[in-house]
Chain A
């Protein structure tokens, strides 16, 4: 299934709204196992997306994903910038010949794994992206997929990123990148009307 340009834009706008309203929640999660700036960093990226959309209305899905990618790459500052940025940039490239939603999310996931040199189970945003990609493929994407992904992420010991320095102490804390990714996919669910 392909998302229309209008729906893709709505998806990103809902993500922007969600991150902006949950900025302090994301900072709080990052304070527990990181440096406390995930909300502030993502918020800066969200503002850059809004700015970029208002300066130039994306004319197709390819350019929309690219605009999102560059806003995040340029403005986020922390590790989530190159991670989300790579995901959206790869999605933009893929959309040139295949804009199927499932394919795009899988492409974004592969980009995250490449950029972060990480995989599922390391307590990162991949713990959300992978089950969502799988659920989309199986046509079983719903809120419980996201909820379960967050629950299992919380129970993990971090083996990637700054939180990995905390070893066992990272257990019981939700990874802030997993939470912001959950917002991304909750926004997608809203657009899909599920």
Chain B
């Protein structure tokens, strides 16, 4: 598929929970997660993000995050990889859900981003 979804959270449970939720709306999409630190603690891990990016089979990635260091690690990843990653500063659950629903039916990026616009919170 054209787009895959990446969820980055400080909490492994949140990342997996969001994935489970949006899978309902988008069973065909590649959805990968990077939740918590390498030791499974609360925090974020560039290594986990890197793995989630590599595992994602979308041609381009729509990325959603929760808090500060998730965002910063995600931005580091964007600077380091050749893969096209679109990062959205929107409410994590609502944003990922809306994007997944639209990406599932192969909506154009423009439509997806227009839908995400009012969900911008950071």
Of A73-81, A98-106, A150-158, the one touching chain B: A73-81
Total residues of chain B contacting the partner, CB 8 A: 14
Task: Verify B68–A162 contact, CB threshold 8 A.
Answer: yes
In Å, the complex CA distance between A169 and B72 comes to 25
Determine chain A's interface SS by DSSP, over half rule: helix
Q: Which residues of B contact A116 (CB under 8 A)?
A: 72
Task: Verify A79–B68 contact, CB threshold 8 A.
Answer: yes
A153 vs chain B, min Cβ distance (A)? 18
Determine chain B's interface SS by DSSP, over half rule: helix
Task: Verify B69–A82 contact, CB threshold 8 A.
Answer: yes
Of B16-24, B38-46, B96-104, the one touching chain A: B38-46
Total residues of chain A contacting the partner, CB 8 A: 15
Counting CB contacts under 8 A, is B73 at the interface?
yes
12 contacts between A and B (CB under 8 A): A73-B73, A74-B38, A74-B47, A77-B37, A77-B43, A78-B43, A79-B68, A81-B44, A82-B69, A82-B72, A85-B76, A86-B72
Measured CB to CB, the residues of A under 8 A from B are 41, 73-74, 77-79, 81-83, 85-86, 115-116, 161-162
